[in-house]
Amino acid sequence: MNIAFIGLGNMGAPMAANLAAAGHSVIGFDVAGATAPGVTQAETAAQAVADARVVITMLPNGAILRTVADDIIPAMAQGAVLLDCSTVDVDSARTVAEQAQAAGLGALDAPVSGGIGGAAAGTLTFMVGGSPEAFAIATPLFDIMGQKAVHCGPSGNGQAAKICNNMILGATMIVTCEAFALADKLGLAREAMFDVVSTSSGSSWSMNAYCPAPGVGPASPADNGYKPGFAADLMLKDLRLSQQAAEAVDADTPMGARALELYRRFVEEESGQGMDFSAMLPRFEKRGRG
C-alpha cells in the first residue's frame, strides 16, 4: 500500500518506520525535517500525499491539524483515507472529517495509547472514529502499528474515547499517589499497601501496571527517576481537552476538573515539567494537609 505519513516526531517516526519495515511504501513529511528509517522524504506535505491510499497524520494539536488538512486534502486522490492519529479536540476531529468527506475521501480519527515505547514496539492501542468502510481499509495498518484497534463509532468518537480514558487515568494516578503518601505517614509499608490494593477493590492500572512508588510492583518510570513514559505535560493536555469537551456538551465532571487543576499546578508552577505523570507521588510526599 502507498502510505503518506505527516508528522515524524517521537511518535510518528517509529510508527512510520514500522509500516515501512512491513513492506509498505511510505513517503513522509515533517515541517521540522525529521526522518524515519525506510521512509522516503517528500519536499512538501502535498507532494507526500499525492499517490497515497492512506494518509496518516500525527500532529501536536487541533489547530495544526486543521492547517495541515487545508493543505493536504485538495492534493489527496479520490477515495483515499485520511487517518489522523493525533490527540486533538473533538470539534477539530469532526470538522476535518467533514472536510475530507466533502472532498470524496474517507476519514478516521484514531488517537493512540501506549506512548513512545508502544509506537516503537508496534503495540499501540487505537481508538477509532469514522466509517466502517474507512476502518476496514486502515485495519491492516493498525495491525502493524499496534496490538488493538477499537472502532468507537462515527467521526470524533475516537477522540472522545481517548479523553474519557485519560480523564480516568489522571484522576486515578492522583489518588494512587495520595494514598501512598498517606500510607507513609501512617507507617504502612509501601510493598504491603501494593500487595493489598493491587488485589483488592482499590486496584487500578495506575497501581497494578504503572505503580508510582519506586521499587514496588512491575518496573515503571518511578524506577527510572520519573523520566517520562507518559509525560505530565501530555496528561495536562489531555485533561484540558476533556474539560473543553465537557464544557461544550454541558457535562458535570468535577473530578476531571480537579485533576486538571492539580496537573496544571504541578507542570506550570511546581517541578512537573519534563517529568512522568506519576511523579505526583514525590509531590505529595513533600506536602502537608494545608
Active site residues: 162
Q: Torsion angle of alpha carbons 70, 76, 79, 82, nearest 10°?
A: -50
DSSP codes, 112-127: EESHHHHHHHT-EEEE
Task: Let me know: does 57 contact 32? Beta carbons within 8 Å.
Answer: no
Rounded Cα distance between 56 and 202, Å, is 39
32: exposed, middle or buried (Cβ count in 10 Å: 0-12, 13-18, 19+): exposed
Nearest Cα residue to 49 out of 33, 32, 23, 68: 68
Q: How many CB atoms lie within 10 A of CB 136?
A: 12
76: exposed, middle or buried (Cβ count in 10 Å: 0-12, 13-18, 19+): buried
User: Per the structure block, which three cell numbers stand in for 26?
Assistant: 511510505
213 three-state secondary structure: coil
Rounded Cα distance between 261 and 280, Å, is 13
Q: Residue 153: which residues within 8 A CB-CB, separation 6 or more?
A: 129
User: Per the structure block, which three cell numbers stand in for 90?
Assistant: 473533538
55 three-state secondary structure: strand
Residues paired with 128 in a beta bridge? 151
